[in-house]
Amino acid sequence: MTTFDQLVKQVRQQLLGFAMNQESVSELAAPMTASDTTFTCDSTTVTNLSRGLVEIDDELILVKSWDQTSGVVSVMGSTNGRGYEGTVATSHSANALVTSSPAFPKARIKEAINQSITTLYPELVVFGSIEITKSAPVVEYELPADCADVWYVTGQVIGPSKVTQPLPNWRYNPKARTTVFPSGKSIQVFDYVTAGQAIKVVYAKTPSTLVNGSDEFTTTGYPERYVDLVVYGTCMRLLPALESARLQQQSVEATERAPLVPPSSAAKAMTMYAQLYQTRLQEEREQLFADVPNYAHFQGS
């Protein structure tokens, strides 16, 4: 199963290529705590560490200076330079990788991955279900708080046949009275079901986001086969940063780079990923309705 950390690596490989990455990478020569304002890099692997951003694990650190002889790096603004750009200052172990001026920081990639996951809804949903025992005088029943919409409703037929039939006449109430239904969600069932028989409600809910690097993708509620779809969506979100960065270059540098990286290259790549994303999204949406047909719906007035 693909983990959060593995997803980050897949996105980086898509954006930077497998062998074209020009980032300068070193490693910590000694552990550092969340409050350290200096750290030591391995002097045999540092090639270019100047004032600016470095990334260690998921943390961005603002560098003030680097002593080439000792390998000691000083943090800009003391602790203010730790946990820079909205990242979290944390401890790092010896041999943790130190990346100078990362093109796509891990923290930003993780944010984009979770954005891609959450925006798949409502095109692709996560399913939940609940069984309700029919009570003779009751029409409205409480649904779980995570219910975002009702997909279909079935009712058990009385007798030995064990048949469960679709119930077409129901109304989902997303703003139910919390004094009666604490979750604030309910369903009104207008079809006849014999008292004591089961009513099954299959409902749609939003996906969960990933938190820890070891979290498996399926903890979102989506199947493993959605991984490439999320990768395409994440690349589509991150690529505009390359185009905006290009616009900030000095004119001489931009002129020198133009033959290698023409203007709008990132925009063209973003369009490619958008097309890949839309194709996969349509495929999975069709598969979703084939696997879980939405054959019951409210028919009342």
**Confidence grade of residue 301 (pLDDT, cut at 50, 70, 90):** very low
The tokens describing 164, both together, are: 């469960």
Q: Measure the CA–CA gap between 126 and 128, rounded to whole angstroms.
A: 7
Check whether residue 217 and residue 260 sit in a common domain.
yes
- Answer yes or no: do 108 and 229 share one domain: yes
245 and 121 in one domain?
A: yes
Residue 165 belongs to domain spanning: 126-205
Same-domain check for residues 116 and 250: yes
Residue 80 CB coordination number (10 Å):
11
Query: pLDDT tens, 215-252?
Result: 999 999 999 999 999 999 999 999 888 766 555 444 44
Q: Does residue 262 share a domain with residue 218?
A: yes
3-state secondary structure of 79: helix
Q: pLDDT digits over 19-36, tens only?
A: 556 678 889 999 999 999
β-pairing, 72-75 with 59-66?
Answer: antiparallel
Residue 49: predicted pLDDT:
76
Whether 199 shows a pLDDT value over 50: the answer reads yes
- The 8-class DSSP code of residue 209 comes to P
With respect to residue 301, please indicate whether it lies within any of the assigned structural domains.
no
**Selection from 13, 39, 43 nearest residue 92 by Cα:** 39
230 shares a domain with 108? yes
The reply to whether 245 and 289 lie within a common domain is yes
- Same domain flag for 164 and 146: yes
Helix, strand or coil for residue 234?
A: helix
Structurally, how many domains does the chain consist of? Answer: 3
CA distance 117 to 277: 12
Q: Are residues 114 and 255 in the same domain?
A: yes
- Does the pLDDT of residue 298 top 50, yes or no? no
The total of other beta-carbon atoms located within 10 Å of residue 170's CB is 24
Q: What is the domain-level CATH number for residue 45? A: 2.40.30
In whole angstroms, give the CA distance from residue 82 to residue 76. 8
Is 287 domain-assigned? yes
In a domain, 88, yes or no: yes
Same domain flag for 185 and 53 = no
The average pLDDT across 170-180 equals 96
Pair (146, 278) in one structural domain: no
Residue 140 belongs to some domain of the structure: yes
> Token pair 């409600």 is at which residue?
201
Boundary-marking domain end, from 145, 180, 205: 205
Pair 251, 114 in one domain = yes
